[in-house]
């Protein structure tokens, strides 16, 4: 089960850090890489440098899809490498479509590429979530309140509940995530740039359901506020995703070492909050 795998990694690393592999070909320091596909070589170097401090990794599908067939191969090889190390992977795909199409997306990412979890968009309703949820050993993170500024276009708009109360759409999404979680494998995506709303969502989800929080680092989210409002525990109920500020901490020859230092700093602050230490 994905949740159990995450909990084990939290115990091993003492952190709740998820590193996003948004491996932008325009920023990868290709002149400092060896032979082979540059995305794969870069990703492996980042993973090797940071794996003692990261619970899991989250490749963003867009940065691989943009390269066509070569990118898909790089994505698959990155997933294979993480699996060989026993490290959980989340494919950030944000898929959301009607049932037949959603089934094919689930097959692609879970059966063919064997990622451990995926991000999905609930805008089309339960039909868009159900095919992923049926993979009970996998994790499914449902968009709830995202980290971008224009989230207010939809996610804070009020809707009327069956009880006659007006609640923001992101709270309704959180309620639906709880309702749909019959296989104990759903989670929510809530931006670290909105700690108060994260607290609202946590109260709806309860203490155990996992939350994936992007937005710390380049987007300006506050780490400690995120951990506090998300009621972070050592059971893996929150994953704080950081991408650019780790991946591209340096674009020089020392890029991997700089990534390690950035990850170590973040994980150290997480360990201090959780009151735990990394296993040796």
Closest by CA to 140, choosing from 95, 81, 197, is 95
Polymer length of the chain: 280
What integer best gives the mean pLDDT of the chain?
Answer: 95
Closest by CA to 1, choosing from 181, 137, 184, is 137
Res. 277: pLDDT tops 70 = no
Q: Please say if 107 is a catalytic residue.
A: no
* Residue 195: φ, ψ to 5°: -65, -35
Closest by CA to 168, choosing from 193, 145, 143, is 145
Res. 98: pLDDT tops 80 = yes
**Domain assignments of the chain as residue spans, ordered by start:** 2-274
Q: Are 42 and 33 in contact (CB under 8 A)?
A: yes
Q: Are 122 and 129 in contact (CB under 8 A)?
A: yes
Over range 109-134, report the average pLDDT: 97
So what's the pLDDT on residue 127? 95
Model confidence at 163, in pLDDT bands (50, 70, 90)?
confident
Active-site choice (31, 44, 58, 94) = 94
- Concatenating the DSSP letter of every residue in 237-254 gives -EEEEE-HHHHTS--STT
* Spatial separation of the C-alpha atoms in residues 176 and 192, rounded to whole Å: 21
So what's the pLDDT on residue 280? 39
Options 3.60.110.10, 3.20.20.70, 3.20.10.10, 3.10.129.10; CATH of 2-274: 3.20.20.70
Res. 58: pLDDT tops 80 = yes
Over range 76-100, report the average pLDDT: 97
């Amino acid at each position: 089960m994905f949740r159990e795998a995450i909990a084990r990694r939290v115990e091993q690393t003492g952190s709740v850090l998820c590193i996003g592999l948004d491996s932008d070909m325009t920023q990868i320091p290709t002149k400092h890489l060896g032979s082979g596909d540059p995305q794969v070589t870069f990703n492996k170097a980042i993973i090797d440098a940071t794996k003692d401090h990261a619970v899991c990794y989250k490749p963003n599908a867009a940065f691989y899809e943009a390269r066509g067939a070569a990118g898909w191969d790089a994505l698959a090889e990155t997933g294979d490498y993480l699996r060989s190390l026993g490290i959980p992977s989340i494919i950030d795909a944000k898929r959301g479509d009607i049932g037949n199409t959603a089934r094919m997306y689930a097959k692609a990412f879970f059966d063919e590429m064997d990622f451990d979890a995926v991000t999905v968009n609930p805008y089309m309703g339960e039909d868009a979530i159900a095919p992923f949820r049926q993979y009970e050993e996998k994790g499914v993170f449902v968009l709830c309140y995202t980290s971008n500024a224009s989230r207010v276009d939809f996610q804070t708009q009020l809707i009327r509940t069956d009880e006659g109360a007006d609640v923001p759409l992101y709270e309704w999404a959180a309620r639906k995530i709880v309702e749909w979680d019959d296989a104990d494998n759903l989670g929510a995506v809530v931006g670290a740039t909105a700690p108060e709303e994260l607290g609202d969502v946590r109260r709806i989800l309860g203490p155990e359901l996992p939350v994936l929080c992007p937005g710390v680092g380049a987007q300006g989210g506050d780490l400690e506020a995120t951990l506090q409002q998300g009621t972070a525990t050592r059971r893996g109920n929150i994953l704080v995703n950081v991408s650019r500020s780790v991946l591209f901490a340096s674009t020089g020859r020392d890029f991997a070492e700089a990534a390690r230092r950035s990850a170590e700093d973040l994980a150290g602050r997480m360990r201090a909050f959780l009151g735990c230490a990394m296993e040796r």
